[in-house]
Structure 1
Amino acid sequence: MTVPMEPRDRLAFARALYDDVPLYDPKRSPVALDLTDNTNLWGMPPVAERTLRELPVARITRYPSLYAAELKEALAAFVGATPDRLVTGCGSDDILDSAMRAFGEPGSVVASSEPSFAMIPIFARMNGLQYVGITELPDHQPDIDALLATKPRILYLCSPNNPTGALLSRSAIERVVREAPGVVFLDEAYAEFAGVSAVDLAMQVDNLLVIRTMSKAFGLAGLRVGYAIGAPSLVRDVEKSRGPYKLNAMAEQVALAALRHDMAWVKAHVALAVTNRDRLAAALRDRGYAPLPSHANYLCVPLARAVEVGQALRAHGVAARPFPGLPHVGDALRISVGPWELLTQFLAAFDDATADVYGWAS
């Protein structure tokens, strides 16, 4: 006879530190036009796409390379480093998680400027670390004094920062690297749109890990290709923490094709994203809004009752990401940039949504 099992809220053998770790759930229902995740809305590079379609079956039936050595060589050439300074992963999230596991002792501090990437406190808790968030300054630069005062084992910064789009000053980054007692993680997921990077600094010091992705400018978000640059000893420990076979064979081959054959396409679409970002900002200013200056492929727009506007947008078939109560900003809407015809659709829906929420005549 089968004995029915009584559900339990928490297993006796579960780790207590996971009790307050939430699943990442942005609560996004499908819509006709999704401008929430800052990926490449022009699609993927042409040679990369052809490589994906023509990938031999043998690439799938066998394990991928241990540590993506061939891809490391191509990425090193792209960023101006050497392969021994590269580590790859299943998206930049994988790099961040593995790096926290590599350098964080149980209970040690992970400090981050806020607002920033929402997964940082979650990764910290997952790895048994103590997360400390420090509110950014009114000019959207990190409060370096307060961050350093936490004596962090790991100090996380993002440039351009998500969700504001602010570019961190080089002097701030250099000071953090110079004075931090532990490892500095610099997330450059949107660096291609800013046109500046601190990879050169990572080549000079032993405590800076610059984390990058091929999910944004390269249009490969679904394949999850992340990487980081740092001192050989630094990336080697991340690689130990990450383990082998973590980048699948399909992702590696498509990423290689993009780096070797599609850079003209990538650069052209980065330029288009920047042009359309500025054009969208002008259209929003014409409507009386004041988008924050952005160096990424999105805009952060201060907007009263942004959550309600976001819900109203969805009712009109369009999604943008609301952020309630951002420090020094208030409620805001983050809008990914793409082809202008999509942004025209967004603006029409935005006009209708704000009319719905604010009671204006559209």
Structure 2
Amino acid sequence: MNNYFRPNVDAMASYVPGEQPPRGTQVIKLNSNENPYPPSPAALAVLQNIDGEWLRRYPEPFGREFREAASRVLGVPSDWIIVGNGSDELLNVVIRACAAPGRKVVYPMPTYVLYSTLCQAQDTDVTEVYYNNEFEFPLADLIAANGDVTFIASPNSPSGHVVSINELRKLASSLSGVLVIDEAYTDFAQEDALAVVKEYENAIAIRTLSKGYSLAGLRLGFGVANPGLLQGLFKVKDSYNIDAIACAVGAAAITDQTYKNACVAKIKASRTQLASNLKQLNFRVWDSQTNFLLVQPPDGNAQYLYQQLKEQQILVRYFPQPGLENKLRITVGTDEQNQVLINTLTQVLLNCSIPKS
């Protein structure tokens, strides 16, 4: 077969998302950080009242209805908001607009692996700056690298930690390029980075409705940045990247803050209990401001436990990469799901400790 691809695309590995079992499968799915609770009733009501005219016509190209709703909720002007087909599309828009061969993208590791995939596809230069074992933020090294684009996931995946606002301010003020603050999990955190975005024209905060709003299947994300920065991003986004249904459902969901906050509060409480239960099983558990936990099994046998849980119809995430090969990332489910996980782990660990005859 002929080779139709650019050399960098031919050489790159594909991004591997968390396993998605077929609908209806009796699996406890704790591997993709989905919200275990249903979307807002207000969002579901929009779906029940779809007008066929929405589908016949092209959607508004900039997601005006959602931008206006997000503007009211966040207290920023609507022209400071860009809407995307999931936050992943907006990460890609930044790369397309700002990265190229000879230009440099910087991010700390380990972090969201899609950054690497996007950079390889664009054939841009990459500098990876590594966290230490305690995930202390490598501020000085990131400043020294001075990327044309610097990605900072805060809260970070898979560690769950938040980068302080003061550190983000220092980074934004020191960089000559764009600072992308990926806030996919900000609904579960104690603080967010909107203040940094308002102060520094080179900073953009990117968010999603997949996590806090239970809309991972909708594919809707947004970014907040100075209109001067957004102007360049609008040039490279797809013409009609947000469908009319997603825009309307997303607007209803983000407006219903009472429902979202109630679900988030339940997840935070479950997170605390799950962390306590895992510690009782002698797991090391990193502090998290997300809807997941990064944990290290007592014997470091993460891959074995991942496989054993999968055989018991429980999916968690295992990353076979340096620094993570002895760890698991576990999404916080409902209390009932979390208890099944703990009971299963207890039995698996007990079987591991029983001497073989």
Report the residue type matching 1:301 in the other structure. Answer: V
Corresponding residue for residue 43 of structure 2: 48
Q: CA RMSD in A?
A: 1.8
In the alignment, structure 1 residue 203 sits paired with structure 2 residue 168? no
Which deviates more from structure 2 when the two are superposed, residues 341-350 or residues 279-288?
341-350
Report the residue type matching 1:148 in the other structure. Answer: I
In the alignment, structure 1 residue 306 sits paired with structure 2 residue 302? yes
- Answer whether contact 1:316 1:353 (CA < 8 A) is retained: no
CA drift of 1:259 comes to: 2.2
Corresponding residue for residue 265 of structure 2: 271
- Answer whether contact 2:110 2:130 (CA < 8 A) is retained: yes
- Answer whether contact 2:67 2:81 (CA < 8 A) is retained: yes
TM-score normalized with structure 2 length:
0.93
Corresponding residue for residue 56 of structure 2: 61
Corresponding residue for residue 10 of structure 2: 19
Aligned length in residues: 350
Match for 1:348 among 316, 340, 343?
343
In the alignment, structure 1 residue 254 sits paired with structure 2 residue 249? yes
Instruction: State the distance in 2 between where 1:325 and 1:358 align.
Output: 26
In the alignment, structure 1 residue 316 sits paired with structure 2 residue 312? yes
Instruction: State the distance in 1 between where 2:133 and 2:322 align.
Output: 11
Q: How does 1:55-134 map to 2 (within 5 A)?
A: 55-134=50-129
Instruction: Give identity over the alignment, percent.
Output: 26
Instruction: State the distance in 2 between where 1:21 and 1:83 align.
Output: 37
Match for 2:152 among 149, 153, 157?
157
Instruction: State the distance in 2 between where 1:76 and 1:326 align.
Output: 41
Structure 2: gaps of 5 or more residues: none
Distance 1:19 1:359, change over 3 A: farther
Instruction: State the distance in 1 between where 2:239 and 2:194 align.
Output: 25
CA drift of 1:356 comes to: 4.8
Secondary structure, aligned partner of 2:329: strand
- Answer whether contact 2:302 2:325 (CA < 8 A) is retained: no
Instruction: State the distance in 1 between where 2:7 and 2:288 align.
Output: 40
CA drift of 1:77 comes to: 1.8
CA drift of 1:29 comes to: 6.0
Instruction: State the distance in 1 between where 2:322 and 2:289 align.
Output: 18
TM-score normalized with structure 1 length:
0.92
CA drift of 1:216 comes to: 0.3
Instruction: State the distance in 2 between where 1:355 and 1:325 align.
Output: 27
Q: C-alpha deviations, 1:123-176, integer Å up to 9, x for none?
A: 111122112211113431321222222231111101111001011122211111
Structure 1: gaps of 5 or more residues: 1-6
Corresponding residue for residue 194 of structure 1: 189
Report the residue type matching 1:20 in the other structure. Answer: A
